[in-house]
Chain A
């Protein structure tokens, strides 16, 4: 139908089909290639920021959120927590971290990862920002070159990494005493380092700290440096009075470590090598105490009581400490029939020998020799207040000959009875006896009598001065006399009256003086009593006071009486 209508159809077919034939490889095919390259580039760009996935084992994933919690290295984000799951053995959690590409070189064998959370240590508060932002993971890069995929997370922030220059050494202390990782090492008030780890060795009973001092201050430490604990309050009671010293509030609240000035005049040219051990003393005084290293054990047997003798009590030779009491116990000598109390002491042999080296004999020989010359051990009282005893070694002039005996595992030093202590006890007893013999009750009753007399006198005095008393009568008479004197001119009568009045006055005054004398006597007696036994003002004897409550009425009575009657009011 079309063909018949449109004869020129066939020639037109050619232009329609021409374009595809003309360009088999149109430049438009560059577009898929470009888009493929673009896609590849985008994929590469996306994955180029991704680093390796690592797994960290923690005890608990406290505060970690998969997909959210960042991993920060020096506060720079280097990754994210991707997945948190329980470990296969159910003893912890396995945290998978997606890290950035830059983080790949941080993930080496000695890198350390820990959970940063708000915590309080001896160094103070840390990680308070996590209260707002949530916990995050901290990453401390190591120095190794070997990569690692599986880590074990730390519970606490790690110590200073091994690559940081500075001085690393050990501090050995008998007690941790509030010091822990993070506690500052302070020199002249400036933080120069810190404690990094704290390990307790149960076998030696020592607490070992790993300490680090920054490179700039490392030369301050030399062989003779003494480290001691500082911080807290320092209370000193001495001849100058009481001194209370403390540093900043921070140093009062948290313990820290400080050390003495360098022994040499000039600083060391090079810091000490790492890995030295120093003793950490509990305080400056302890650090400066002569060092005692008692090693030489001796057993002392005392016949009397050793009450007041504690372990660590000093063993002195003429006031110089040479050792310590190790213990007081029958276990040292179980089979003693006399039940003498065994006291084990240890003596520092170095303190007995002079340090010149000229002395060839050992400390043991010295003691044996001294005992033959009369060295004896005895108990002496170190303090009257606390009754603490110490062991005194001294030469006795009239000592019976004795020698160091060997008993069981120990050498036994001869002892003498604790003469000093007995003497003291005797004196104290005598003092108490005297005290007991004081006539306390008698004194008290005398004082009561005196008070009664005073009261009596006061009553008399009132009677005398009262409206109907003789004194007022006299005064009235005197008035009358003066009235009459002024009224009539009869001097003779008046004089007569005056004579009469003066005679009356005389009798009155005589009466008064007698009364006052009694009062005076009673007062003297009372004050004497008070002077000798002042406690009677406070503690009256309840005996023989039945009559006393009668006097207790509020009357003008001397002060002691009112004080004394106070308890009877109750």
Chain B
């Protein structure tokens, strides 16, 4: 198996803001004066905390209505994310239903799973390559979950027809936006290099165990 020597092994830290590589002992980046860390400080804890927070908000986000349509003729109608998907599906708008389903239900759930797996990867140090790819994908698609929030905010802003019809954001929209923002922050606060550190450590331990076994 191919192994690499990490920069941290040589006490070199990459500046978080400008990317300059400096010995970590300097404390601050000589170029932009940002504090230097070998790894993102408290990355794993932060990621886990944010993910748990997002997961907590994800329940009200799906249980509470995200959209409240108040119309004089039809009374008040509230719809949750799932009921919106079901409604679009029943009305035959399959593409829209699929988009909402993927963006608002599937991606957040997958994101929780992905971040959980990344955290487990740091703990156990396995499949570093696959997890790296997973991290990239998670970071990339995570922002699309905000589509729902944007749709709601646009509708609320545009459809205010006075006494005839008005659309208001439901409580679920706030929870959903909070959950999405927290997952994005979680993905961002995750330090991918920890996976590789763990993998290297794992390998060292196994090689040490192998040496012990041999001796």
Q: Which of B44, B46, B53 has the most CB of A within 10 A?
A: B53
CA distance A20 to B46 in the complex (A): 11
> Which among B75, B171, B179, B204 is the interface contact of A46 at CB below 8 angstroms?
B171
User: C-beta contact mask, A5-25 vs B, less than 8 Å → 1, else 0?
Assistant: 110110011011001100100
User: C-beta contact mask, B1-23 vs A, less than 8 Å → 1, else 0?
Assistant: 00101001111000000000000
A42 at the interface (CB under 8 A from B): yes
Task: Quote the shortest CB–CB distance from B47 to chain A (angstroms).
Answer: 9
- Residues of A in contact, count (CB < 8 Å): 40
Task: Quote the shortest CB–CB distance from B131 to chain A (angstroms).
Answer: 18
> Which among A1, A6, A35 is the interface contact of B57 at CB below 8 angstroms?
A35
A28 at the interface (CB under 8 A from B): yes
CA distance A12 to B11 in the complex (A): 7
* Chain A contacts with B in 73-111, Cβ cutoff 8 A: 77, 80-81
Task: Quote the shortest CB–CB distance from B125 to chain A (angstroms).
Answer: 13
B33 at the interface (CB under 8 A from A): no
User: C-beta contact mask, B163-179 vs A, less than 8 Å → 1, else 0?
Assistant: 00000001110110011
B46 touches A26 (CB 8 A): yes
User: C-beta contact mask, A22-65 vs B, less than 8 Å → 1, else 0?
Assistant: 01001011111111101100110110000000000000000001
B73 at the interface (CB under 8 A from A): yes
CA distance A67 to B76 in the complex (A): 8
Task: Quote the shortest CB–CB distance from B145 to chain A (angstroms).
Answer: 16
Residue of A nearest to B37 (CB): A19
> Which among B9, B45, B75, B178 is the interface contact of A28 at CB below 8 angstroms?
B45
B147 at the interface (CB under 8 A from A): no
Interface size class of B (residues with CB under 8 A): 35 or more
B174 touches A42 (CB 8 A): yes
Residue of A nearest to B197 (CB): A16
A368 at the interface (CB under 8 A from B): no
CA distance A39 to B77 in the complex (A): 22
B9 touches A45 (CB 8 A): no
B77 touches A68 (CB 8 A): yes
A308 contacts which chain B residues (CB < 8 A)? none
> Which among B3, B49, B63, B72 is the interface contact of A29 at CB below 8 angstroms?
B49
Task: Quote the shortest CB–CB distance from A37 to chain B (angstroms).
Answer: 9
B171 contacts which chain A residues (CB < 8 A)? 42-43, 45-46
Given A19-B39, A31-B182, A68-B74, the answer on whether A39 and B175 have CB atoms closer than 8 Å is: yes
Given contacts A29-B49, A38-B174, 16 further A-B contacts (CB under 8 A): A9-B9, A16-B38, A20-B44, A20-B45, A26-B45, A28-B49, A39-B56, A43-B60, A43-B63, A46-B171, A65-B74, A68-B74, A69-B75, A70-B76, A132-B73, A133-B73
Q: Please give the residue numbers on chain B whose beta carbons come within 8 Å of chain A beta carbons, in ascending order.
A: 3, 5, 8-11, 24, 37-39, 41-42, 44-46, 49-50, 52-54, 56-57, 59-60, 63-65, 72-77, 170-172, 174-175, 178-179, 182, 197, 201, 204
CB pairs A–B below 8 angstroms (13 shown): A6-B5, A8-B9, A12-B8, A16-B197, A20-B42, A26-B45, A28-B45, A32-B52, A35-B54, A45-B171, A67-B77, A70-B75, A80-B75
| Ranked 10 nearest A-B pairs via Cβ | A35-B53, A32-B53, A42-B171, A32-B52, A68-B75, A31-B53, A46-B171, A28-B46, A39-B60, A28-B49
